[in-house]
């Protein structure tokens, strides 16, 4: 049996939503983007949702709208994807990379307090809800407010998720979601910037499309002077096309309902692995709704195989895995630019040494999950 790392569930609603856009003849940003934005804002309980063509674009627009510029410094956890730190450099600023909790891979209030105290020039903090597990945003917000630091959370993995009853998307100055191909809701490529701040929303809307004061749909739907627009800043080309928004719109409800399926899969893994003392499952937090975009385990040093050998053995058994992520302090560009030492990141290092994310997606069949579990047990007990 072959078990993929991710398999997309394609519904009739997705097909007909896209067909509708094609039949309409309006493929770029238009009514579907507006409908997707409204539905997404309602789903997370925020005032503004601004659809863009990636989470990377959303993160860039968020920092730009907050006013990050050359010489500024932004707190970024090392355990994240390239984009979280790269967007800081797009604006001529620099990230301050910090360690994460070895159990959850999250930025913790203690790490935030230490980092902001040691680096009083940091102006923005970027918590990453790694794997879909929300950070302790109430405590982090308290600390950031004390230090006069704004928060842009990287919610690429975290739809739908909540912390203590509050939805991710309402826990920061700006939240940025990803709709990349293997995310819990996907438009192929895409992202959403979410905020309750009117000024940030207004700036991001203008900057996502060339700094124009009216987009194509806005011009198309006015009675007079359809051709006319002004440019108020040198903006970017980050708009989401209607054809992608149609896919996203058709998935919102499914993605919300599918969280229960993902949670059940995670619980099955937890139960099956509880007796294996050569590995540990990823930690979670109390009073959260976890999006379960990722389920990862960490091999102990006593495991019979090291991470890469284990990944190869699983592949041979037909189980596809991956590593999320090689932390940023291990990347040459950041090491050279920021002068980083591996020893300063013990939490992330302890995860990296043994981390293996396993298949988790709503359509994972019981016999497929049994196959993954048996392959893990075989590798870790009988290797």
- Could you list the residues that contact ligand PLP (CB under 6 A)? 54-56, 80-81, 83-84, 128, 154, 156-157, 178, 180, 191
Looking at beta carbons only, is 56 or 115 nearer to ligand PLP? 56
d(CA 273, CA 275) in angstroms, rounded, equals 6
CB of 180 to ligand PLP, least distance (A): 4
CB of 157 to ligand PLP, least distance (A): 6
Looking at beta carbons only, is 252 or 303 nearer to ligand PLP? 252
Do residues 246 and 15 lie in contact, with contact meaning Cβ atoms separated by under 8 Å?
no
Segment holding 98, helix H or strand E: strand 94-98
d(CA 350, CA 344) in angstroms, rounded, equals 12
- 183 is known as an active-site residue: yes
Do residues 33 and 240 lie in contact, with contact meaning Cβ atoms separated by under 8 Å?
yes
CB of 128 to ligand PLP, least distance (A): 5
In angstroms, the Cα distances linking 88 to 7, 180, 213, 335 are 32, 20, 25, 16
Q: Record the tokens describing residue 37, joined without a space.
A: 């934005």
**2 CB neighbour count, 10 Å cutoff:** 10
C-alpha 239: how far from its chain's center? Answer: 19
Of 142, 146, 183, 237, which residue is the catalytic one? 183
Return all residues near 15 (Cβ < 8 A) that are at least 6 apart.
Answer: none
Looking at beta carbons only, is 61 or 209 nearer to ligand PLP? 61
Please report where in the chains the tokens 């909790």 appear, as a residue.
101
Looking at beta carbons only, is 80 or 141 nearer to ligand PLP? 80
CB of 54 to ligand PLP, least distance (A): 3
Looking at beta carbons only, is 72 or 154 nearer to ligand PLP? 154
DSSP 119: -
Looking at beta carbons only, is 176 or 212 nearer to ligand PLP? 176
CB of 338 to ligand PLP, least distance (A): 19
**128 CB neighbour count, 10 Å cutoff:** 25
CB of 62 to ligand PLP, least distance (A): 12
Segment holding 75, helix H or strand E: strand 73-77
At 279 the three-state DSSP class reads: strand
List active site positions.
183
């Amino acid at each position: 049996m072959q078990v993929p790392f991710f398999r997309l569930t394609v519904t009739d609603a997705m097909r007909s939503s896209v067909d509708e856009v094609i039949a309409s003849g309006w493929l770029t940003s238009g009514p579907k983007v507006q409908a997707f934005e409204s539905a997404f804002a309602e789903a997370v309980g925020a005032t503004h949702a601004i659809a863009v063509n990636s989470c990377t674009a959303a993160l860039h627009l968020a920092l730009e709208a907050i006013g990050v510029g050359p010489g500024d410094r932004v707190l970024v956890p090392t355990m994240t994807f390239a984009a979280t730190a790269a967007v800081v450099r797009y604006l001529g600023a620099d990230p301050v990379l910090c360690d994460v909790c070895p159990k959850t891979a999250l930025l913790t209030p203690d790490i935030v307090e230490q980092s902001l105290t040691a680096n009083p020039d940091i102006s923005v903090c970027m918590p990453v809800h790694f794997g879909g597990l929300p950070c302790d945003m109430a405590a982090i917000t308290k600390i950031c407010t004390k230090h006069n630091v704004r928060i842009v959370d990287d919610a690429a993995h975290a739809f739908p998720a909540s912390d203590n009853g509050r939805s991710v998307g309402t826990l920061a100055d700006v939240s940025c979601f990803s709709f990349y191909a293997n995310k819990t809701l996907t438009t192929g490529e895409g992202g959403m910037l979410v905020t309750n701040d009117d000024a940030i929303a207004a700036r991001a809307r203008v900057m996502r499309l060339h700094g124009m004061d009216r987009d194509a749909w806005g011009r198309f739907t006015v009675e007079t002077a359809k051709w006319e627009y002004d440019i108020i800043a040198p903006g970017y080309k980050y708009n989401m096309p209607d054809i992608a928004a149609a896919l996203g719109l058709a998935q919102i409800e499914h993605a919300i309902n599918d969280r229960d399926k993902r949670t059940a899969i995670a619980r099955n893994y937890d139960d099956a692995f509880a007796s294996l003392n050569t590995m540990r499952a990823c930690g979670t937090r109390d009073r959260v709704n976890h999006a379960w975009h990722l389920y990862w385990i960490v091999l102990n040093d006593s495991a019979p195989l090291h991470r890469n050998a284990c990944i190869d053995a699983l592949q041979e058994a037909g189980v596809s895995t991956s590593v999320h992520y090689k932390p940023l302090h291990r990347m040459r560009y950041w090491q050279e630019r920021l002068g980083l030492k591996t020893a300063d990141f013990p939490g992330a290092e302890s995860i990296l040494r043994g981390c293996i994310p396993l298949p988790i997606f709503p359509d994972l069949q019981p016999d497929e999950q049994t196959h993954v579990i048996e392959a893990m047990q075989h590798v870790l007990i009988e290797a």
